[in-house]
Amino acid sequence: MLDASDIRLLMLHFLAQNDAHGYELIKSIEELSKGEYSPSPGIIYPNLTLLEEMDAIRVVDAQASRKAYTLNEAGRALLAEQQAHIQHLTERLASLAVLVNNRSIPDVDQAIYRMRTALNSRLSQENISTEALEQIVDALNSAAEKIANS
């Protein structure tokens, strides 16, 4: 969903607001998308190391059991330079939160379930004719068009 440079910018964005541990950064990104996207520790921790090597962040207390990070001047400069892109990233993740809210409306959730069940049931049959497959594709394309234009 996001590449490593996007993740680094989001990490800097959240560190500009508060010092944080890696886990807190994961949770901040996850919270922005209402749980629809959560970066893995395998993405966050190597990028924390890279940002530290780039002198964009530093450890707040090297003696602490969990490393909390804070922004350095280089990190602030990078944030200022990439502000428009950061806004785009945060809006993109926030739109996932809207998706989660709308998809959880009971009628919408039920309709999605019925569509998925019907489609999986029909496509799991071994000898579907070419005509039947064409009808399924037409029905899906028609539904997609109606949804897009509603």
Cα dihedral: 60, 61, 67, 72 (round 10): 20
What's the pLDDT score for residue 101? 84
CATH fold of 4-103 reads Arc Repressor Mutant, subunit A (1.10.10)
| pLDDT confidence bin for 46, thresholds 50/70/90 | very high
What does the pLDDT average to over 35-47? Answer: 94
pLDDT digits (tens, 9 = 90+) for 102-130: 888 999 999 999 999 999 999 999 999 99
pLDDT digits (tens, 9 = 90+) for 49-104: 999 999 999 999 888 888 999 999 999 999 999 999 999 999 999 888 888 888 88
Where are the domains positioned within the chain? 4-103, 106-148
